[in-house]
Structure 1
């Protein structure tokens, strides 16, 4: 029993750096955040590229011929070669590698110093296509960082906007590039462009770039805060119609709330009240970062921020709880996953608090929140089952909560089938968590051993005996020996279930 609680504490209890389970999601979260932003800006990219290509038909020209024309002294020939190169890379960004064979980076770095705006625009569009490619492809154009910073100071708004998107694409994945941009004063330029009344498109693209600059390890949070980012964000939230600017503002705040020190300024400036409004937005892409911000508050090392969300104001708490129920009833997978993370954070508390939360859901929302999460275990696909299971195990950190749930639950067999299916997880921590559940179940309800067997619990544990992970097969072995040894009687069971 001691080992079980030590493992569960390691997995689920919050720490000053955030819980271990959130750290393990970092890679997944980065992919989700990046895909959302790229999709939001895809239409604009296509429009920009199409506009610059109107009135001219393009054929695929061999890279060696394009490289030869780019090295000429004829400016018209150079422009035509750049347009052909842009067309080729727009069809397949990976084709940029073919141009590298002809020292194309050196040639472009020479041409980019041209005073001709059209040349700069064409090179910027080439870089745009390359920057939207793979991580490896992005690495090929990092030398253009200082030029991108100078483009942001250009009087041409189109060149500025293209450069902003390139900066956003590169800085999200390439940390050395991001740090170099920060050293060259990129943050000051981006903050200056956050003026929706001057140019809404440039403002959105700048906010997009800032949100990507704040991703990854050791982001420049303090520098961006010193430039009064919160005042800028407050202006964005005064815009009534939901738009892309709110989307990027919310993601910026989600990164800023990854540390505790900015929670107070968000509360004191009433930003949190505005953030909560997006928790029930009709647009899924706005709800997701709003949920992430709330989760960050709940996982704060200072419990007063948990209390601010859950205990301080009943109206605020019920607003969040009813939003949770709305999502679970709507069965929108992307949001359900986020709501499971939110429930995990809500249940990351002491026993009395969790019991009060469950009671509040029942009295004010007429819903048993644990049963709602258990339906996900029964009906959903693996990713959602996993997140719902983590949320439930956080609530069941306290045996009294677990015993009450199992005693009253009416569909236990299907629930166990869904829960045990997670033993097939490739993540050893998840498999350990399910074995925690089996131990907890059989320690509290010995008579349910027969039901565990009937729900394939024993057979799945036996499969783990062949697992290459030593801790997993040893753990499975121990459970079988403890609960299903020669003293185990399959006739001794509670047939009610």
Structure 2
């Protein structure tokens, strides 16, 4: 049973990591939790840099008429037509497909070379709105890459900033486009714009673009590190007032720490101490990437980084633990999922280490951390329930931790109901995890079989017998046969336990 449980533990960590910034899955919520925040940030950025339409009323003009007018030699008519097109696409980016029917790409590629700055700005704003659309829509404007790069060298800050946000929006998903830009030296340009004293807005937009360049498969970590990104980030943290630049800096670090190659740079430069301070930020959006950076250290295969975070400095560990409890007690839903993942990383350790951590939580923080996680399993919605269960299972891998908890926990019925509800999960790994928990429970406490039945454990397993996933229904069969087969006696009650 222990070997099976060891094997399943790897799946728990894998399942949790899939839902993090490491992008283990395709473009879904599990690909990157930052995406929603990115969209909100992009929306605000567009609102700030787009010209207001309040002073002049634009009508929705048919695409064919707009494209026809764009072929005119009258520069005023071209500007007006571009404004009409911008207005239409700002209302619905998907309307760009209607313009494609009239060869709009080639028309814009000709106009974008115009010497007229206003024409360039209008086209850039059109591309900005298109870049905020779906992956398929983004693909339609990749041919403008070289022009957008040239805009970065413009003396017009607004044109530069629009281009940066377009790059940020495209590079996170269009990986071939990103890789081509990297080969052509765009990272040097982006790093060069990380100067908040020259233009804070340009600096923020460039950092935003860099963070998105570090998404996806085979990100350009080495290239960005060779350009002294850590020195730039350290300078950002010298800025006392929390701001958008800290948000992007933390996200860049969260991506760079998805591999442990650069951990020593962070340690040697004392960046971690600055990162930890954001755990108590009033801005949730700053706390989330800080949590993930810490979790990345804890998940490293090299245990010296775990020791650096947890064991080398009790004050540092207590600071982290106190902030964990603060989030759980404040019931900040947006952060609880992140904190559960951090707990999973903290429990990614040896038996004596986990016992030590539980003891610190109880004596120094006056909290039973396993009971706190159990409350989430009992009361929270699916996403939080799942993450809390994964954290518990990482701790319960060790029999001494598990047995001690079950012997002392007073709300076992509700906990079982919460855990068994996860057997309905669409993720087979989660259902397997709960069945492994059930096997562990009944091996350690066979008299609890009746309680399992009373909590609908058997009926949930029976449903899995009809599951299309072969490994799930076979596993359900094994547990039913082993613990609820011919030798199962309901009179052998859990009350005797």
Normalized against structure 2, the TM-score is what?
A: 0.96
What is the alpha-carbon distance in structure 1 between the residues aligned to residue 259 and residue 32 of structure 2? 20
Over 3 Å counting, the alpha-carbon distance change for 1:474 and 1:273 in structure 2 is same
Alpha carbons 1:12, 1:348 under 8 Å: kept: no
Q: Is the 8 A contact 2:19 2:33 kept in 1?
A: no
Q: Against the structure 1 CA distance between its residues 15 and 259, is the aligned structure 2 distance closer, same or farther, given a 3 Å change threshold?
A: farther
Deviation, 1:17, is 11
Q: Would you say the 8 A contact 2:151–2:159 is kept in 1?
A: yes
Q: CA 1:14/1:72 → structure 2, altered by over 3 Å: closer, same or farther?
A: closer
Q: What is aligned with 1:202?
A: 202
SS of equivalent to 1:267: helix
* Cα distance change on mapping 1:267 and 1:352 into 2, 3 Å: same
Q: CA deviation at 1:74?
A: 1.4
Contact map agreement 2:131 2:137 (CA 8 A) in 1: yes
Deviations for 1:437-480, whole angstroms, at most 9, x for unmatched residues? 00000000000000000000000000000000111111101100
What displacement does 1:13 show? 6.3
1:25–1:326 Cα change, 3 Å: farther
Q: 1:205 to 1:22 in 2, by over 3 A?
A: closer
Residue 56 of structure 1, CA deviation: 1.9
Query: Structure 1 CA distance, aligned partners of 2:471 and 2:126?
Result: 51
Deviations 1:191-245 (A, max 9, x none): 1110001110110000000000011100011101111111110110000010000
Gap change, CA 1:357 and 1:14, over 3 Å in 2 = farther
What CA distance in whole angstroms lies between the structure 2 residues aligned with 1:102 and 1:49? 28
Cα distance in 2 between the residues matched to 1:281 and 1:496: 49
How far apart in 2 are the matches of 1:11 and 1:492? Answer: 34
Shift of 1:185: 1.5
In the TM superposition, residue 119 of structure 1 has moved relative to its aligned partner by 0.5
Between stretches 10-19 and 415-424, larger displacement belongs to 10-19
- Report the 3-state secondary structure (helix = DSSP H, G, I; strand = E; otherwise coil) of the residue aligned with 1:495: helix
Instruction: Name whichever of 53-62 and 455-464 sits farther off.
Output: 53-62
CA distance in 2, matches of 1:26, 1:250: 23
Cα distance change on mapping 1:16 and 1:228 into 2, 3 Å: farther
What is the Cα deviation at residue 487 of structure 1?
1.2
Give the 3 Å change call, closer, same or farther, for CA 6–33 of structure 1 in structure 2: closer
* Displacement of 1:72: 1.4
CA distance in 1, matches of 2:107, 2:258: 42
Report the Cα distance in structure 1 between the residues aligned to 2:6 and 2:395, rounded to whole angstroms. 16
Check whether the contact 1:86–1:122 (CA below 8 A) recurs between aligned residues.
Answer: yes
Q: Indicate the RMSD between aligned Cα atoms, in angstroms.
A: 2.2
Write the distance in 2 (CA, Å) between the matches of 1:234 and 1:45. Answer: 25
> Is the 2:362–2:368 Cα contact (8 Å) retained in structure 1?
yes
Q: Deviations over 1:374-401 (max 9, x none)?
A: 0001100111110001000000111111
In the TM superposition, what is the alpha-carbon distance from 1:49 to its structure 2 partner?
5.5
Give the C-alpha shift of residue 38 in structure 1.
2.9
Answer yes or no: is the 8 Å Cα contact 2:70–2:82 preserved in 1: yes
Residues 354-375 of structure 1: CA distance to partner in whole angstroms, max 9, x if unpaired? 0001011111001110000000
Cα distance change of structure 1 residues 60 and 428 upon mapping to structure 2, 3 Å threshold: same
**Preserved CA contact (<8 Å) 1:452 1:458:** yes
- CA change 1:433–1:30 in 2 (3 A) is closer
Retained in 1: the 8 A contact 2:22–2:31?
no
Displacement of 1:4 after TM fit?
A: 2.6
- After superposition, give the CA deviation of every residue in 1:138-171 in whole Å (9 maximum; x if it has no partner): 0000011111110010000000011111010000
Which residue is 2:414 aligned to? Answer: 414
Residue pair 1:361, 1:369 contacting (<8 A) in 2 also: yes
Structure 1 unaligned regions, length at least 5: none
Q: 1:294 to 1:110 in 2, by over 3 A?
A: same
CA distance in 2, matches of 1:469, 1:23: 25
Runs of 4+, deviation exceeding 6 Å: 13-23
Q: Cα 1:231–1:30, aligned 2, differ >3 Å: closer, same or farther?
A: farther
Q: Find the aligned partners of 2:109 and 2:317 in 1 and give their Cα distance.
A: 56
Contact 1:14–1:348 under 8 Å retained in 2? no
In 2, Cα distance between equivalents of 1:149 and 1:381: 45
CA shift for structure 1 position 12: 4.0
Alpha-carbon distance in structure 2 between the residues aligned to 1:172 and 1:21:
12
- The answer (yes or no) to whether the contact 1:8–1:397 under 8 Å persists in 2 is no
**Conservation of the 8 A alpha-carbon contact between 1:18 and 1:300:** no
Do the aligned partners of 1:298 and 1:345 also contact (CA within 8 Å) in 2? yes
Change (3 A) 1:389 1:269: same
Contact preservation (8 Å) 1:70, 1:107: yes
Greater shift in the superposed pair: 406-415 or 74-83: 74-83
Bigger drift between 37-46 and 268-277 goes to 37-46
Comparing 182-191 with 163-172, which one deviates more in the overlay? 182-191
How many angstroms does 1:53 deviate by?
3.8
Which residue is 1:78 aligned to? 78
Checking the alignment, whether the CA contact within 8 Å between 1:67 and 1:102 is kept in structure 2 is yes
Distance 1:139 1:151, change over 3 A: same
Superposition deviation, residue 15 in structure 1 = 13
